Structure 1
Amino acid sequence: MAGIATCALTLSSRSNFGTSWLEFDTHHRRTIRGKPKRWRNFGIRAEVNFVNPDEAKKLVTDEGYAVLDVRDKTQYERAHIKSCYHVPLFIENQDNDFGTIIKRTVHNNFSGLFFGLPFTKLNDKFVDSVQSQLSPQSKLLIVCQEGLRSTAAATKLEAAGFKNVACVTSGLQSVKPGTFDSEGSTELQDAGKAGLITIQGKISAVLGTVLICAYLFITFFPDQAEKLLQLAPSS
């Protein structure tokens, strides 16, 4: 028997931020020996839109994008964009099985101590939590500290039906002060810095400054530097 086929193609693009998406629906019906086959739908979902901080600001102020912060609680509390939604992609792992206790202890003695990173696990209620606050039609700017978690979060939400999704390339660490109105005890780009590494960084900065000053003093005042060296006790 003869078959009937229909095809619809929709292509949209936005040049300002390099956003593009493609929707392709194919309906194909054939009758073979009096038995009609089902209609088939094929779809290609929207690609995630990656923007720099200035472009991200325009998405929020000019196009009504809502900001979704997917960082953990500690980074969020240090600094976050005002009026943003907060749904962490990873949550603190407080499981008490033997394997988790060992991993948590090792983590806290190394990464937790030096970098101030909490021991976390994937938030299995992430998509449900976002859907309870925002509709799939919402325009979302997803942010994290380095850009990795926001990309993973955007992929999950895209699969769940969210089509207007953007991420800040390299995360909040690339955002200059004043780009967004923020709240917290530090600047957005510094919210990921914690632990002993911050103290080490300050010590290194002080030592570097001392060495530069000593070099300049020896270079421009060699006679005085030589006298000071002569006054230094010998071993």
Structure 2
Amino acid sequence: MSQSISSSTKAEEVVSVDVSQAKTLLQSGHQYLDVRTQDEFRRGHCEAAKIVNIPYMLNTPQGRVKNQEFLEQVSSLLNPADDILVGCQSGARSLKATTELVAAGYKKVRNVGGGYLAWVDHSFPINTEEEEPSAN
């Protein structure tokens, strides 16, 4: 099922929060939607009790392309009524993803300005999923 972005939804309608606000919101139960690639996510992501990784862009041999199943994948895991923070590496992809989610009816979604880089700059807790090197 394909959904298109309403031409009336503009980035100005998207609510953005800085990483300090995001950290507080995560502690109060907001869900975190990390829209970076799976490799970026595995290398490190913000520490959050409820975190989901659904890439907005996919790496292909031709370069990065938009994940055409993004909305479908999000809707299979998150409800439009959920409190959701959307983050990426620096804030650009998450702004696009948040704009698309708002157009699709997600009312309580916010973009995390500055993204993971700002999170790290603030020395906030992170998790990594890199495999440990074997001891052999």
Task: Tell me if both proteins adopt one fold, taking TM over 0.5 as the criterion.
Answer: yes
Q: CA deviation at 1:120?
A: 1.9
Equivalence for 1:145: 89
**Residues 184-199 of structure 1 mapped to structure 2, 5 A cutoff:** 184=129
Tell me whether 1:60 sits opposite 2:26 in the alignment: yes
Q: Name the amino acid aligned to 1:183.
A: T
Equivalence for 1:162: 106
Distance in 2, Cα, partners of 1:155 & 1:68: 13
Equivalent residue pairs, number:
118
Distance in 2, Cα, partners of 1:44 & 1:168: 18
Question: Higher RCO, 1 or 2 (CA under 8 Å, sep at least 6)?
Answer: 2
**Residues 215-234 of structure 1 mapped to structure 2, 5 A cutoff:** none
**1:57–1:180: 8 Å Cα contact kept in structure 2?**
no
**% same residue:** 31
TM-score calculated relative to the size of structure 1:
0.46
Equivalence for 2:80: 136
Tell me whether 1:183 sits opposite 2:128 in the alignment: yes
3-state SS, counterpart of residue 92 of structure 1: strand
**1:50–1:169: 8 Å Cα contact kept in structure 2?**
yes
Q: CA deviation at 1:181?
A: 4.3
TM-score calculated relative to the size of structure 2:
0.77
**1:71–1:145: 8 Å Cα contact kept in structure 2?**
yes
Equivalence for 2:133: none
Name structure 1 gaps, 5 residues minimum: 1-42, 95-103, 105-118, 186-235
Equivalence for 1:90: 57
RMSD of the alignment, in Å? 2.3
The structure richer in helix per residue is 1
